[in-house]
Amino acid sequence: MKYSIFSLARNALTYHENWTQAWRSPPPRREYDVVIIGGGGHGLAAAYYLARNHGITNVAVLEKGYLGGGNTGRNTTIVRSNYYLEPNAHFYEHSLKLWEGLSADLNYNVMFSQRGVLNLAHSYADLDTYSRRGNAMRLNGIDAELLLRDDVERMVPLLDCSPNARYPVMGGLLQRRGGTARHDAVAWGYARGADMRGVDLIQQCEVTGFTRNGSRIDEIHTTRGTIRAKKIGLAVAGHSGHVAAMAGFRLPIETHVLQALVSEPVKPVLDTVVTSGAVHFYVSQSDKGELVLGGDLDMYNSYGQRSNLPPVEHAVQSLIALFPCFSRLRMLRTWGGVMDMSMDGSPIIGKTPIDNLYVDCGWCYGGFKATPASGWCFAHTLATGEPHALNAAFTLDRYGLGRTIDEKGGGPYPWVH
C-alpha cells in the first residue's frame, strides 16, 4: 500500500484498525538467486536496491533476530559526509545525496533532519586538520565551513566557549547538510520497499554454517532449514568475523562494543550535532527531546551488546565539561552494539576468497550514514560480480596489497577522523 494523505484518511474511517502489515513473513524457500545474511540497514538496503536498480527479486534476507535489531536500531543516527580521503569522500557524499531523497524514494518518512554536524577544534592542530579536511571536502564538491570561536559560540550558545573552559573551543568544521535520521524507520522503510518488490524477509533465522564445494558455497545452514543460493551477501556487522569463520576464511575485523546513552527529555535546546574528536564525544537532541550522547569504544573485544559504566562516565563527564548547563540532567538509559572495526577505519565491500560469497563490513563507528550507499554499491557488486566505481577501493585484498585507506591517520592524533 502506498502511504499518502488519502490512505491516512481512508484508514481513519476504520479507526486505523485495518492497515495492512508493512511486510510479509513468508517461510524460507529452498533456493534463491541471492541470499543476504543480516537484516540490518545494510542488508535490507542491498535487497531493496537489488530489486529496484537491477530487477533481481528472487532474494531473501536472513535475520537471526528481528529486522533492525542490531547496530541499525542501536546507533546515534548521525549522518554526514565530511571525510578527508578520496574513496570515502565520494562514497559518503553519494550516501548523503541518497539520504536527501530517501523518504520520497521509500514512500516512508525516515525523519532525515539536516541540522548540521559541527566538529569542534580545541587546538591549533585541530584547526589545521579541519581546515585541511574542509578544503579537501570542498575540492570534492562537498559542503564544508570552517568556523572560528565566535561563530561556534553564536551557533551553539549553551557550549562553554569561555577562555577557562576545560576544553577551550577555538573553532570548528561545520557540514550544514549533515544531521540525523530515525534509525528504525530506515530499516523499516527499506524492508517495506524490498518486500513490495518481492524480496522475502525471513526473521528468527540464524545462519549456523555452510556446506562448501571447493571454492563455492553450496548450502546455507540455518535454524529454519537449509537454503541454496547462487550468490550470498554477508552484512552482519559485528558478527562478520564469526560468520566468515564458518565459511572458512578470516576477515581483518575486530569486534568491539560501542555504547550510547540518552538523557531524560527536555525542551529543544540543541539544534545541531556537536562532536569533538579530541574529547571523543558527541551529542545531539532527538525529536523526543532526549540528549543522545556517545563516545569511545570499550576497547576490548566482545560480542556482548551491553553497556558498562566507564564509557558512560566518560561521556557524561565530557557532556558536562563542554555544556556545564546540563549538569543536573538525569540519564535515562544506556545500551551497546557490536562494531565491525576495520584496521584502516574504512569499509570492505566486495569479493571474498569464496567465489559466490560477497562481504559488506568494516563500518566501525559510522555505518548508519553509509546505509544507502552501502546498499547501492553492495547490490551492484552482487548483481554484476564487479564493484561499483564507488566501492572499487574498498576491497578485502587491500590489506595484503598495502593499499589501505587510512582515514584514521588523517588527523593530528589517530582518532580525529
Ligand X SMILES: Cc1cc2nc3c(=O)[nH]c(=O)nc-3n(C[C@H](O)[C@H](O)[C@H](O)COP(=O)(O)OP(=O)(O)OC[C@H]3O[C@@H](n4cnc5c(N)ncnc54)[C@H](O)[C@@H]3O)c2cc1C
Asked if 236 interacts with ligand X (CB under 6 A), we say: yes
What's the burial of 16, exposed, middle or buried (CB within 10 Å: 0-12/13-18/19+)? Answer: exposed
Distance between CA atoms of 58 and 198, rounded to whole angstroms?
7
CA distances from 287 to 271, 291, 292, 305 (A): 10, 10, 10, 25
Amino acid identity for residue 395 in this structure: T
Report in angstroms how near the CB of residue 261 gets to ligand X at its nearest.
9
Chain residues 161-190 in contact with ligand X, contact rule CB under 6 A: none
Nearer to ligand X, 170 or 192 (CB): 192
Asked if 64 interacts with ligand X (CB under 6 A), we say: yes
Nearer to ligand X, 75 or 285 (CB): 75
Asked if 76 interacts with ligand X (CB under 6 A), we say: yes
User: How crowded is residue 267: how many other Cβ atoms within 10 Å of its Cβ?
Assistant: 6
Asked if 38 interacts with ligand X (CB under 6 A), we say: yes
Report in angstroms how near the CB of residue 186 gets to ligand X at its nearest.
9
| Stretch 355-394: interaction string toward ligand X, x if CB under 6 A | --------x-xxxxx-------------------------
Report in angstroms how near the CB of residue 11 gets to ligand X at its nearest.
30
Nearest alpha carbon to residue 288 among 308, 268, 305, 315: 268
Report in angstroms how near the CB of residue 75 gets to ligand X at its nearest.
3
Chain residues 301-360 in contact with ligand X, contact rule CB under 6 A: 337, 339
Asked if 217 interacts with ligand X (CB under 6 A), we say: no
Contact range with ligand X by CB under 6 A, out of 95-103, 115-123, 232-240, 391-399: 232-240
Nearer to ligand X, 161 or 274 (CB): 274
Asked if 231 interacts with ligand X (CB under 6 A), we say: no
Nearer to ligand X, 368 or 376 (CB): 368
Nearer to ligand X, 39 or 116 (CB): 39
Asked if 71 interacts with ligand X (CB under 6 A), we say: yes
Asked if 259 interacts with ligand X (CB under 6 A), we say: yes
Nearer to ligand X, 170 or 193 (CB): 193
Report in angstroms how near the CB of residue 175 gets to ligand X at its nearest.
13
Asked if 233 interacts with ligand X (CB under 6 A), we say: no
Binding residues for ligand X (CB under 6 A): 37-43, 62-65, 69-72, 74-78, 206-207, 235-237, 239, 243, 258-260, 294, 337, 339, 363, 365-369
